[in-house]
Structure 1
Amino acid sequence: MRRWRSLVWLAGSFLILILCFQFPRLNHGLHGFFDTITRPFFSLGAGIRDISTDVRYNFGRFWNAIAKEREYQSRILELEARLLRYDEMEKENRRLNKLLNFSQTLPFKTTGIRIIGEDNTPWKSVVLLDKGLKNNIRQEMVLVAPEGLAGRVLESSAYTSRAIFLTDPDSRVSAITSNGRVQGVVTGTGSENLQMKYLPLDSEVAIGEAVITSGIGSLFPKGLHIGKIESVERSPDGLHLLALVRPAVPFSRLEELLCIILPTSK
């Protein structure tokens, strides 16, 4: 049966070839017929090839755009970091210039010192400084900022020191009001405010009046600004007046200080 089919197929093909040679029109018609049948498939293949080329091209452009965007983002971050460094340098220069100008108004020898750490003990206002005995920074030396008195040195090692701020409860400073010349003792409260204690009951202490160091004792020089009176009331024992003092120095923002080097400092 298969042999018979093969013979029929061969005879039919041979007949078509003879007809094509004998009748050119038929040849042309068959060519057009097959061309009509196969053209869509060739067109489809060409279209798929073009689409594939476009996809590869656009996909490449897409990844190139992503790579460029990442490069730009990295560049932007780098520039932002550089601007931040420049901004910090400018702020530091302003602070140091302010400190330098202030040092030139003082009748004392001073040296600049930087805060490099803090004591995390509750209610304490103790900081670590970047200079010590090798820089002639010694115990009980006075620390000031352009705004006024900041504190004193507690102890010194070879290259660092620990200092106590006015806001520490263990801090004590003999003080006087600038107008009424009323004397008292300014102490820390462990918070942002100070207290001026032992004011006589008949004292004339005004709200907003400045408080300065009195110079009593050998530690703190006279005339250093401490702060301003915010309120006045009787002490709990009723024997004195007690004043709330807002410190002049912004302790929470301090980064650099001046250390006063007095001839009497040991």
Structure 2
Amino acid sequence: MTRFPYLATAVAVVSAAFFLVPLAATINFSLRMKRGEITLDAYRWLFRDDTFVSVLGFSAAASLAAIVLGAVLVVPTAYWVRLKLPAMRPVTEFLSLMPLIIPPVVLVFGYVRIYGTSSVLPLTMSEAGTNLLLVIGYTVLSLPYMYRAVDNGMAAIDITTLTEAAESLGASRLRTIATVIFPNVRSAIVSGAFLTFSISLGEFVITSLLNRPAFGPYLVQMGQDYAYQPAALAIMAFAFTWACMALMDFFATRKPGQGILPFIRRKTA
């Protein structure tokens, strides 16, 4: 007879409580804007605030741009290192960890110094250039997570055989990466995209110092000025992040001819 896994169950319950209890407390607090009543006034206040919609849309767009840029940079790099330069893997792994070592404040001051007013390429002098620096900053911050997710995905497939098969059919190296390698590591890219989106959406240091109208500084400012609205804002950001992740998962795993209903049934089964 198999024994009931008491220890594993206890660990799972404690871990779930560690995550769910603060979330439930935040939800409860966000509904107490009127003393003695459960009301959605804090959420209504946010939806009536034009700034909330604009900063959320700006952060979502910047995060998605960082995901695309990160995938375009990381996938060919990891592919080439594994295929042609396996001895360089320790070096690339070390370089991918640098954003965890260098504080974001150092990174953004380096951007301002290099791309400031006295630079040959003064990106900070225009709104589009500053937005580009912000996306690059998000990409750099998420590099450790995106690189490891893609590298693990590369380890699960035989890229040498896939490359030889593609080249034997006349595919160029660029077409091999785009039509063979990318689809085979799609789930790994989505895993890295989840982390990239979560990091970028709430990032504060780079966004604030570049003076961009993003969600992180807005959330901090709301926490300084109000009591109940920041709790509602945190819950809405949590729900928005998970909704975006579900959509990314859907579009990454969808096959031709599949619709949204089969996807929902598969996820809820």
Does TM-score exceed 0.5, indicating one fold? no
Structure richer in helix, relative to its length: 2
TM-score of the superposed pair, with normalisation by structure 1: 0.24
Structure richer in strand, relative to its length: 1
